[in-house]
Amino acid sequence: MRRFRFVGPLALSLLIACSESFLPASFVTDLRVVGARVEVEGAPGRANPSPGDDIEVSMLVIDQGVLPERLPKESPLTPPPLTWAFVACVPRATRVGSPICGARIKPCDGCTGPPPTDPLAFPVIGFQVPSEEELEAAQADGVVLQRVVCVYGVPSTDAITRFLLGETDDRQLCEADPADPPDPEDPDPKPEPEGRFVTVQIPIERDAENPNLNPGIADVRLNGQSWPPPYNEGVPRDALGSGCAAELTGEERARHPVAGSAPSTINLAVTADSLQSFTVDDVSVTEEIQVSWLADGGGFEVSFSFITEPASSILTQWQPFPEAPVDGLLVRFNFVIRDGRGGTDWVERGLCVLPEPLSASPP
């Protein structure tokens, strides 16, 4: 069966304000929105909705781990508390470039957040896909979620409007929260507002007999073994960047990396049905799964990999940094997979990089 590389900006495309840097894409140094997963109500596993479906879109937002001294007056969170403003829409008919919103889709549950009941929430947005007639009238083969995610501030309606109209290329799309104005006498003021402009493109499902399903991460292993505790199911959002060694048992310490040691191998496996077959112009093809390797410390040998049939897993290497404090340094990993047709999955893991034992140091 022929294999087909069909990885494009279908599920998530991002316009991000960032400084010029030669750092690899895998090295997380700032705020990023790196994934959007669509769930179709009443159809578990479906990645792409049909006209009239009710859907929920969850977004993965990450940031570099925060050391206690960076925010001395607050409990450090990774990422910091988020605010956002989105619109769901049918895109206008365009031939090139990023999609431009046309008719808005209302109601849109969660398009503005976070909700008052959960100030630490991540964006989870729900709405109903328009009818087939509405989509055909707009010559649209999908719908779009678009706008801004912020930290240390709130979305600026004026700045977003001017940016979308092309009146400015200034990407400072967030402003200080009017409800929480800065205190000029505060010796430890909050950081400047920071934001990311996000476009989530959601294709419409046309093949009811063989719908596209979200791929799934079945397992992530470190050096051929199960991921070591205590960060084998994720990392607490308020975990400190330093001091993780105290969280480890003696047995766990032996499984976490040592600063300056040889690279560790990381193996990611997907579920058996993740690589789907489908038809394009009467030709049967099979998806390839793109893997994004992301960490806020150390370095991967690659930023992206592909899993192609018949393989169901992929191996890469991660090199810990050369030095670590005596109480250890926490590294957060995020692994994101995409099938190129709108399907997405992700997991988070953590490792405590320990200092080189004194006995191993040169005299």
pLDDT at 182: 72
Query: What is the bridge-based pairing of β-strands 264-270 and 277-280?
Result: unpaired
1 lies in a domain?
no
6 lies in a domain?
no
Residue type at 225 in one-letter notation: Q
Q: What is the pLDDT of residues 49-66, one digit of tens each?
A: 999 999 999 999 999 875
31 lies in a domain?
yes
pLDDT at 22: 57
5 lies in a domain?
no
Q: Which residue has the higher pLDDT, 72 or 26?
A: 26
- Provide the phi-psi class of 245: left if phi over 0, else alpha when psi is between -120 and 50, else beta: alpha
- Pair 325, 244: CB distance under 8 Å: no
pLDDT at 74: 56
Supply the pTM of this predicted model.
Answer: 0.88
Instruction: Please give the Cα distance from 92 to 138 (Å, whole number).
Output: 6
Find the mean pLDDT for residues 200-206.
92
Query: What is the bridge-based pairing of β-strands 174-175 and 154-155?
Result: antiparallel
How many CA atoms lie less than 13 Å away from 72 in the CB half-sphere?
5
Domain limits for position 56:
13-355
217: nearest Cα among 3, 99, 60: 60
- Pair 108, 91: CB distance under 8 Å: no
Instruction: Please give the Cα distance from 200 to 36 (Å, whole number).
Output: 7
Q: Which residue has the higher pLDDT, 181 or 336?
A: 336
33: nearest Cα among 195, 271, 257, 275: 195
- pLDDT band at 17, cuts 50/70/90? very low
pLDDT at 273: 92
Please tell me what DSSP assigns to residue 42.
T
- Pair 288, 340: CB distance under 8 Å: yes
- Pair 68, 239: CB distance under 8 Å: no
363 lies in a domain?
no
- pLDDT band at 67, cuts 50/70/90? low
Q: What is the pLDDT of residues 208-267, one digit of tens each?
A: 788 999 999 999 999 999 999 999 999 999 888 888 999 999 899 999 999 999 999 999
Q: 257 to each of 82, 227, 318, how far by Cα in Å?
A: 32, 12, 10
Number of domains in the chain: 1
361 lies in a domain?
no
* Full strand arrangement of the beta sheet holding 54-62: 32-40, 54-62, 124-128
pLDDT averaged over every residue in the chain:
87
152 lies in a domain?
yes
